[in-house]
Structure 1
């Protein structure tokens, strides 16, 4: 049976939407036999509704798994262990042979609109709610931020997508069209601008740590502006992202016990040991087939596996290399084996698919590199004092144990641009940034064509601009059956 992904949650009860997520800052109680029209009454109701939006980011359809296949495996950063019989849809992404029925492409699209529908349910009712203004502002800001984040992913992955900003009936949803990219970006900007004014700078209740803040919204807005090449707007926003700092130890960013820290603007949180589970399957998906760790044996799939190319991208002495990946491991207590694997999410699960590592969406290091890029694009400057492009770049490099770059190393705008591009790769490795950076730097086709040849010995497929976007899931194309307003990507 065909099922319209964009309207998947419209006819489902709110009990299903909000009853699946329990974590430190999310405490949801099941609600039976209610719809969004009857549910949203109290502050507690809206709290649960917002928590359900966060829960959408945890899904294996999105940041719980499928997103890093579309954003990292697609790039020259990672691949999968078995690109043949066991590879399936993941192999297609890795080798640029995907079809519109690819399960990962469908899952990310579907999971994204589920999350958007939850945000819309909150936003539809929040303005008229008889709850304290402080709660109303926070909940609205959170829903706007989360909706903007998901649309930012969608528009970069698929191009034109349906812009749905309210709960729709089935008949309304069937008439959705693929909106122009500029229209989608305008809504993303609007949502984030509003969220930045509504959200608090920080939370005083420890149970709220990890929720979106004004810094989350401004930081993401700056990243959106950079992606749109609105350099002046980006600079104005990013320079006002205050209250954050780089941690001294890069590796400590990824320990579950340190998930909330002064460098993280926003992260998708997971926690193991709960029932129902709020963990992830990062560990089992990424470690080698036979993996001996901390005195115990595990079996993994060795997917999202670092390529030879990313290993070679690190400069000598870069502390981020050993914190991010390893090229050897133990298959048992006494036997060492060669093979790359991601270390950033190395938290052994309490049970199957129950790891506790969180997934960083936006860190202060990213903000610094974005700010450096925006300044350089407005005009190269050799100055290296506080608040300059060189200062922002070198803050990140010094934390990694590397020498600062000077005007002698980077004497012009092009060389500085290339340095930022290279620095982003190793600083943000395996955090879903590489594919998008390849595209916005207009380097994706050439780099990936060379990567297919170098890494796999493949000269085909010949990559064209059509491969910079994923196809719209075929199920969506079929059910809309509207080539004029809902066409497939070329």
Structure 2
């Protein structure tokens, strides 16, 4: 592989200016971004390092599913006592500003952004072939946009950094308005669409961002902002190279990573040294889990809630693929307990699983189109290209009957049906929290969940908690309440 399965080279570079005086040469052991980037191979390594940040336990490797799934009504924490003050805070909406998951999610996104900026600062002036220049620039823009999309949805206004900076410049950051951040995201993705190829001919390049990846993410960004018409244009531009796979179960098999439904995924591979695997298996399976003749020990965090299990309709083929409610804790003993099955890949070693994490799938694109069409105007039309057609294409693959106009006779009922479908189709793929946060009844849904699932009579939840706090260390470093304030309610 040419992409993530390398050391994060840029993480070891010094991001500072160097002298051009030939007498004061920079040692090769102390490379900077200004001296490193010269050849196409150098830029490829730089872009690979950006992708590498997606695997980190600060992002999709761990922290993100705590902030995006455990936070929602989809999953919870098994060991609430030992993890009180850390993961349980995220689950119960009692987090403090020093919570490490919150700090990790913030820092991990800026690692990716910094590495993207390092490439973007140098690539226009480089003399590498034009085709390589366009691709690498497009990839860097796409990955920077993805990270800012995660940041702005998790924390609200955040510093907008689009160039490499000195320490003193970084200390003068302000929290840019949400609208400014979204404008930068849109600009990055619109540029990426024009720069990235529609596909790659080299099998080793599978998994890199494509023009379809950028169009799809742009559509999702626009739906999040309720820009329905422009969202539809972007979603329709995803292209003809993507489609639903026939069987939902095939999406999550490590051996089937090359398939037409994945627009973009975080890639992992087990069995390498140093490891390029994930820790999903150990983090998600039960404490005593007998599987394939071996007894494993997991933490059973990011555990499916009873509420989610009940959300699946009878006959939904996605249920048995996504989760289970019983398991073996020995060769002969079966016990009750929920756990995620989507990423059930036996690790080659501790924390070395090979399952990939889907960031954007074609099913998501179909449901976003259904939502955007309905929000523009409810229509009773059915068939290809209609809101009902997009919704029912996803349901048909799940083995479920099509929704009819009689069942969904108006805009509100159709809207609710789309959100219900998104929950079961995209379970454990880091979408549910954001769907709740952008919906009109998200707070009410979560309050009901906290009361039903945990018997909390007065849950600590209001609209302020739809954003996480800015990590306290950032507040302390900047010490500027006017330009770098803490989020309301913390």
Place the TM-score, normalised by the shorter chain, in its bin: over 0.9
User: Structure 1's 16 and 357: CA in aligned 2 closer, same or farther, altered over 3 A?
Assistant: same
Out of 375, 384, 403, the position equivalent to 2:373 is 375
Match of 2:432 in 1: 434
The separation in 1 between residues aligned to 2:99 and 2:437, in whole angstroms, is 21
Q: Which among 303, 324, 349 is matched to residue 305 of structure 1?
A: 303
CA distance in 2: counterparts of 1:171 and 1:461, whole angstroms: 42
What CA distance in whole angstroms lies between the structure 2 residues aligned with 1:341 and 1:13?
A: 36
Residues 9-408 of structure 1: pairs in structure 2 closer than 5 A: 14=10, 16=12, 32-242=29-239, 243-408=241-406
Tell me how far 1:294 sits from its aligned partner: 1.2
- Post-superposition offset of 1:241: 1.4
In 2, the alpha carbon distance for the partners of 1:14 and 1:84 equals 39
Indicate conservation of the 8 Å contact 1:17/1:52, yes or no. Answer: no
Q: Which residue of 1 aligns with 2:408?
A: 410
TM-score by length of 1: 0.94
Is the CA contact (8 Å cut-off) linking 2:289 and 2:328 kept in structure 1?
yes
Pairwise CA distance, 1:87 = 3.9
Q: TM-score, normalised by structure 2?
A: 0.94
How far apart are the structure 2 equivalents of 1:460 and 1:67? 27
* Residues 204/189 of structure 1: CA separation in 2 closer, same or farther (3 Å cut): same
Q: Is the 8 A contact 1:15 1:33 kept in 2?
A: no
Aligned counterpart, 1:469: 467
Secondary structure of the corresponding residue to residue 453 of structure 1: helix
Identify the range of structure 1 (47-56 vs 237-246) with the bigger mean alpha-carbon deviation: 237-246
1-structure distance, mates of 2:401, 2:303: 29
Q: Aligned equivalents of 2:212 and 2:177: distance in 1?
A: 28
**How far apart are the structure 1 equivalents of 2:152 and 2:117?**
18
Cα deviation for residue 259 of structure 1 reads: 1.4
Question: Residues 280 and 357 of structure 1 are in contact (CA less than 8 Å); yes or no, is this contact kept in structure 2?
Answer: yes
SS at 1:329 equivalent = strand
Question: Following the alignment from structure 2 to structure 1, what is the Cα–Cα distance between the partners of residues 292 and 164?
Answer: 48
Distance in structure 1 (CA, Å) of the matches to 2:329 and 2:84: 22
Kindly state the Cα deviation for residue 465 of structure 1 after the two structures are TM-superposed.
Answer: 1.2
Q: Distance in 1 between matches of 2:13 and 2:384?
A: 47
**How far does residue 361 in structure 1 lie from its aligned partner after superposition?**
0.2
**Secondary structure in 2 matching 1:356:** coil
Q: CA deviation at 1:459?
A: 1.9
Tell me if the contact between 2:9 and 2:45 (Cα under 8 Å) persists in the aligned partners: no
Deviations 1:172-194 (A, max 9, x none): 11001000000000000000000
Q: CA RMSD in A?
A: 1.3
Q: Which residue of structure 2 aligns with residue 6 of structure 1? A: none
Unmatched runs of 5 consecutive residues or more in structure 2: 1-7, 15-27
2:301 and 2:228 map into 1 onto residues whose CA distance is 36
| Whole-Å separation in 2 of the counterparts to 1:265 and 1:204 | 16
Q: Deviations over 1:74-125 (max 9, x none)?
A: 0000001011233441000000100000000000101110110000000000
CA contact (8 A) 1:73 1:93 kept: yes
For 2:163 and 2:423, how far apart are their aligned partners in 1? 37
* Contact 1:17–1:118 (8 Å) recurs in 2: no
1:13 positional shift: 8.3
| Alpha-carbon distance, 1:332 to partner | 1.2
Q: Give the superposition deviation at 1:196.
A: 0.5
Structure 1 position 462, deviation (Å) = 3.7
In 2, the alpha carbon distance for the partners of 1:111 and 1:441 equals 27
